Amino acid sequence: MELYQELLSQEEYYAAELVIHTDRTPLYRYACAAASYLEHAALTPYDGGMLYPCGLCINKNAENAHIAVKPEYSYTYSANLAYLVQKVPAAAELLAAEFSQIVPVRPPHTVGGAGYTHSFINFRRILADGLNGYRARVEALQAGDFRDAMLRLLDGIEVYRQRCIAHLETVGAPQALIDALKYVPNHTPRNIYEALVAWNFVYYVDGCDDIGGLDRGLYPYWSGEDIRDYLREMYRHVDINDAWSLPLGPHYNELTVQCIDAAHNIRRPNIQLLVTKDMPEEVWQAAYASIGTSCGQPALYNWDAYKREINNRLPQVTEEDLQFLAFGGCTETMIEGLSNVGSDDAGINTALIFDEFLRTNLDKFDTFDAFIEAYACEAERVVASVCDNLEEHRKSRAKFRPQPIRTLFIDDCIDRMKDFNAGGARYNWSVINVAGLINVIDSMQVVKTLVYEEKRYTAAQFLEKLDAQDPQFLADCARQPKHGNDNASVNAIASILSERIFSEFERHTCTPGGRYFPVSNQFTTYEYAGMGVRATPDGRANGEPLCDSCGAIHGRDTNGPTALLSSVASLRLDLVLGTPITNIRISKRNLPIALKPLTEGFFRMNGMQLQVTCASKEELLDALEHPEQHESLVVRIGGFSEYFNRLSPTLKQSVIDRAEY
C-alpha cells in the first residue's frame, strides 16, 4: 500500500493500480489501471469545436507528459521505465517483472510491427445500446473478476465523461455540445449530432485508433443533414493523433459521399473504399475530386475479391458480418467491431533473406531453377521461424496482457466472459508484413540472365562486382527486364516466389485462434528495412530503401499503367489476405478518365487494392524547394497517406521517382 500511495503522489495512476490487487486476475488489475487513468489524468484543452474530447488523447497530450506509464490501444500500456524509476525507485523491480512477462518479437524480421494490434471497436453497437445497455449486460454476468473488471472500467469511463462535461462548462463551450455529452454515449442518440458526439467520445476512450465505418454506423441517425463540417472536425482529431482508418461501402448511402468529400487535403483517416461492380457514379465522382486534392483518399479495395478469399480462407465469417469488412491501421483486413487481428504482428524482410542467401549459395547451384527453389525453401524456413516466435509472444500476451477497453467494446468478449487477447473476440487471426519481395524478384531476373543463361559472370565475379558497385556490371543489371512492365520471365518469377512465400503463412495456426496471413504494407518502413540489406542486383546500393509496395521499384515501370498492373496481378495476390498494397501515380487532369477503367481492369485480374498519388513531379520538386508553400501536400506512402514535408529526404525522392501516368 505504501508503494501504491507513492505512485499516486507522483501521478502514476496507471502504474499504481498494477502494484495492488495482486491476488486478482490481470484483466481486473489492468481494468482498474485504465479506469484510474481516465479518472485522474489531465484532460486535453477544448479547442472551440463542436466535438469533445479533441486534440491529442489523454495518453498523448502535453498535459500528461510527466506520466511514465499510460494506457495504449495496441500493447495495453506504454511505459518509460527509466523515467518511472527516477520518479519512484521502489517501483522498479516489481514493474519490471510485470512488463517482462511478454515474450518479445525478435529482430531482424520486425518490418512494420512487433506484436502490434490495431482494431475497430463496435461503434455501431455502442451507439445502438448506449453505455447504459453495456452496463446492464455486464451486471447480468456471473459474479467474478471479469464482471468486476468491466464494471470498474465503465465506472472510470463515466467519471471521464463527467470530467469532460465539467471542463466544457468551465470554458464556456456551446450548450449544444454540453447537452449532447450529458445524454450520450450513455443513451442511444436521438439525432445525427448526438451520434457524432457519442462516436467521437468513445473513439477517445479507446485511445484514438481506427475511426470506423462512419457511413455504416451514422446512417440510422441521419435525416438528410450536411455533416461534412462535423466529419472534417472528426478527421482533424484522427489526423492530430496520427490515427487510422475509415472503411466505406460495400453498401453506399448519401453519407458515403459526404465522408469522401470531407477528406479533401487531409492525410487521415485512411479512407478505404470497397468498390463493387455497381458502385454508383456519384461515389466515383467524389473519389476523383478527393484524390485530385492530392490527399490520396480514398484507396480502392476490390470487394468481390476480398469476399471470395474470406469465404475460402475464413469460412467462419458469416455473410452478415462480412458486410462490415474493414482494414485497420494502414490496411490490415479485419471485421469491424468483431475481431482481434494482429496488425502488423511481425515482419518478413525477404530482401534481407536474399542478401545472405545470395552471398553464401550462388556458387552451389548449377541451374537457376535449383537456385530459386533453394531460396524459396530458405524464405519458408524464416517465415516458419517468425510464426513460431510470434506464437510464443501471442500466448504470453493472452495470459498476462489483457486489453480491458477492447474487451468491453468488441463483440463477443462480454458474452464469452473472456479477454480480447485471450480469444474473446468473435474472430481472431494475425497478419505479418512482407517487405522487399519486388527487390528479390528483380534481383532474381538479373541472376537468371547474367549468371545462368548468358553466363556473363561466374558466381564469384557476380558477387565481387556487385559489392564493388562496378559501373559496367550495374549497367548490365539495369538492362534486364524489371517488375512493372509485364515481362513474361519476371512475371513467372513473381508468381513462383509469391506463391511459395505467401502460402507458408497459412500452414501455421494463430493463438487464440485462426491463421496467419501476409500483408504487403510498407508505409515508411521501406527505408529502414533497406538499411540492413547490402547491395542487391536489382540496382539497390548498400543500405538503400526497398520497394514500397507490390508495384514497380520507383520509376522502373516504363511500359504504362496497364503493364504495371498486369505485373502486380502476376503475384499471388489472393494469398495476401492482409492486403497487398499497390501504389500508382496518375496526373490530376487524367484522373477522371483513367482511374475507373484502370481500377476495374486491375480488379478483374484479381487485383486487391489500388492507391493513387496525384501530385505531379513538378509539384513535388517545388515542395522540396519551398516546403512552406506545400504544407498540405499529401502523398501515398506504403499503406497510408502522409504529408510530403514530413518524409525523410530519401522517402521524398522515392515518391518523386515514381512513374507518373
Strand partners, 517: 431
| Residue 508, pLDDT score | 95
| Residue 113, pLDDT score | 77
Residues 6+ apart with CB under 8 A from 461: none
Judge whether residue 522 has pLDDT over 90: no
Identify the band that residue 617 occupies on the pLDDT scale cut at 50, 70 and 90.
confident
Q: What are phi and psi of 77, to 5 degrees?
A: -145, 160
String of DSSP letters for 334-346:
EETTTEEEEEEEE
Among 586, 522, 588, CA closest to 553: 522
String of DSSP letters for 281-343:
HHHHHHHHHHIIIII---EEEEHHHHHHHHHHH-TTS-HHHHTTEEEETTTEEEETTTEEEEE
Among 99, 113, 108, 146, CA closest to 396: 99
- State the residue for C-alpha cell 482529431: 237
Beta strands across the sheet bearing 516-519: 339-349, 427-435, 516-519
- How far is it, in rounded angstroms, from Cα 100 to Cα 108? 20
Does residue 523 contact residue 454 with C-beta atoms inside 8 Å?
Answer: no
Judge whether residue 637 has pLDDT over 80: no
Note whether residue 265 is domain-resident.
Answer: no
Element (H, E) at 516: strand 516-519
The torsion of the CA quartet 504, 520, 321, 31, rounded to 10 degrees, works out to: 90
Identify the band that residue 151 occupies on the pLDDT scale cut at 50, 70 and 90.
very high
String of DSSP letters for 105-157:
PPSSS-TT-SS-B-----HHHHHHHHHHHHHHHHHTSPSSHHHHHHHHHHHHH
Tell me which residue range forms the domain holding 27: 1-100+121-208
- How far is it, in rounded angstroms, from Cα 541 to Cα 329? 31
Note whether residue 299 is domain-resident.
Answer: no
Note whether residue 312 is domain-resident.
Answer: no
For residue 21, is it left (φ>0), alpha (ψ between -120 and 50) or beta?
A: left
Mean pLDDT on 30-47:
98
Identify the band that residue 659 occupies on the pLDDT scale cut at 50, 70 and 90.
low
User: Which of 21-25, 57-61, 247-251, 481-485 has the weakest average pLDDT?
Assistant: 21-25
0.85 cut: is pTM over it?
A: yes
Among 515, 436, 450, CA closest to 483: 436
Mean pLDDT on 224-231:
98
Distance of CA 596 to the CA centre of its chain: 25
Strand partners, 70: 78
- How far is it, in rounded angstroms, from Cα 172 to Cα 646? 35
Judge whether residue 112 has pLDDT over 80: no
Q: What are phi and psi of 186, to 5 degrees?
A: -65, -30
Write the single-letter amino acid at 1. M
- How crowded is residue 285: how many other Cβ atoms within 10 Å of its Cβ? 14
Q: Write the pLDDT tens digit of every residue in 501-511.
A: 999 999 999 99
Note whether residue 148 is domain-resident.
Answer: yes
DSSP letter at 4 equals H
Note whether residue 539 is domain-resident.
Answer: no
| Residue 639, pLDDT score | 66
The overall average pLDDT reported for the chain is 94
| Residue 19, pLDDT score | 93
Q: Write the pLDDT tens digit of every residue in 415-464.
A: 999 999 999 999 999 999 999 999 999 999 999 999 999 999 999 999 99
Note whether residue 56 is domain-resident.
Answer: yes
Number of domains within the chain: 1
Note whether residue 477 is domain-resident.
Answer: no
| Residue 652, pLDDT score | 82
Among 337, 53, 56, CA closest to 198: 53
Note whether residue 134 is domain-resident.
Answer: yes
3-state secondary structure of 636: strand
Mean pLDDT on 613-627:
81
| Residue 640, pLDDT score | 67
- State the residue for C-alpha cell 527516477: 86
- How far is it, in rounded angstroms, from Cα 410 to Cα 335? 10
| Residue 240, pLDDT score | 96
Does residue 614 contact residue 588 with C-beta atoms inside 8 Å?
Answer: yes
Mean pLDDT on 219-234:
98
Mean pLDDT on 475-481:
97
Does residue 228 contact residue 262 with C-beta atoms inside 8 Å?
Answer: yes
Identify the band that residue 294 occupies on the pLDDT scale cut at 50, 70 and 90.
confident
Judge whether residue 93 has pLDDT over 90: no
Q: Write the pLDDT tens digit of every residue in 315-350.
A: 999 999 999 999 999 899 999 999 999 988 999 999
Q: Write the pLDDT tens digit of every residue in 374-391.
A: 999 999 999 999 999 999
Does residue 194 contact residue 238 with C-beta atoms inside 8 Å?
Answer: no
| Residue 6, pLDDT score | 96
